[in-house]
Amino acid sequence: MQAETRVFSDREELARAAARRWLDIYRESVARHGAFYVALAGGSTPRRLYRILACPDISAAVEWQRVHFFFGDERAVPPDHPESNFGMARETLLEHVPVPEGNVHRMETELRGMDAVASRYESLLTDIVPAGGEGIPQLDLILLGIGPDGHTASLFPGTDILQQTGRYVAPVYVEQKACWRVSVTLPVIEEARHVLFLVAGEEKQPVVKQLLTDPGGAPVYPVQMPHYRGSVELYLDAAAAGPELSTEQALQT
């Protein structure tokens, strides 16, 4: 996986740099086609980034009516559940900025029938997001995290969704978490114009080491499986990067 890698001293510096990059890509996208189609990541690392984007000085620079929010994945819980990725984004960002409600597209995973939930979300993606090559919805930016097992979105090791190329959104039962999730599939990640990974914490070091030491090698982890066609950037804090990488060391891996 070829990625432009940057290492930051801590989570705060990582989040601030990610906010600057988010704004860069927002501006590029609006200049290109008058809108910004962005998929948010779940988990804990993006929280600080979302809070920074909601700050008045940054928020005032964004024409929120041009922004369409999607989600890379969602857990099978209601939107007000502590585990909800949508709920986390709403609490940290969405309820603090004037983005039209109709521009926030969450996965309705509280409903029964994960397959139907995934199919409806796929229709939403293809209806709203302009298609890139081969008719695949082309997000301007997809924010992603990486788990200690090398998963990204809900593409976990050993799950069937890793072979799912006929659908853009699919349900997945994650044994490791004993729960259902709905996630975008590899084609959507591959098609995104920009992919920005936010990775923090010492527990991520083994995965990061693999990504950086063998970028062209055969995939070991799900995050290495997509044939990324857009730009790929990896933002690390020092804890995830490990002692070999100095902070603010821009590497082309």
What part of residues 181-220 is at the interface with ligand 6PG (CB under 6 A)? none
Is 145 among the residues that bind ligand 6PG (CB under 6 A)?
yes
Q: Residue 229 is encoded by which pair of tokens?
A: 């066609």
Beta bridge partners of 35: none
In sequence order, which residues have a C-beta less than 8 Å from that of residue 108 and are 6 or more positions away?
117, 120, 121
Tracing tokens 């700050």 back to the chain, one arrives at 55
| Closer to ligand 6PG by Cβ: residue 62 or 122 | 122
CB of 218 to ligand 6PG, least distance (A): 22
Choosing from 5, 29, 45, 210, the residue that interacts with ligand 6PG (CB under 6 A) is 45
Residue from 44, 65, 213, 246 in contact with ligand 6PG (CB under 6 A): 44
The angle formed by the CA atoms of residues 36, 95 and 141, to the nearest 5 degrees, is 25
Our finding on whether 163 is near ligand 6PG (CB under 6 A) is no
CB of 197 to ligand 6PG, least distance (A): 9
Residue closer to ligand 6PG by CB (options 36, 71) is 71
From 84, 152, 164, 224, residue interacting with ligand 6PG (rule: CB under 6 A) = 152
DSSP string, 18-82: HHHHHHHHHHHHHHHHS-EEEEE--SSTHHHHHHHHTSHHHHTT--GGGEEEEESEEESS-TTST
Amino acid in position 126:
T
Closer to ligand 6PG by Cβ: residue 73 or 140: 73
Consecutive H or E run containing 170: strand 169-174
Q: Which of 73, 190, 191, 237 binds ligand 6PG (CB under 6 A)?
A: 73
Residues within the interface to ligand 6PG (CB under 6 A): 41-45, 72-73, 85, 145, 147, 151-154
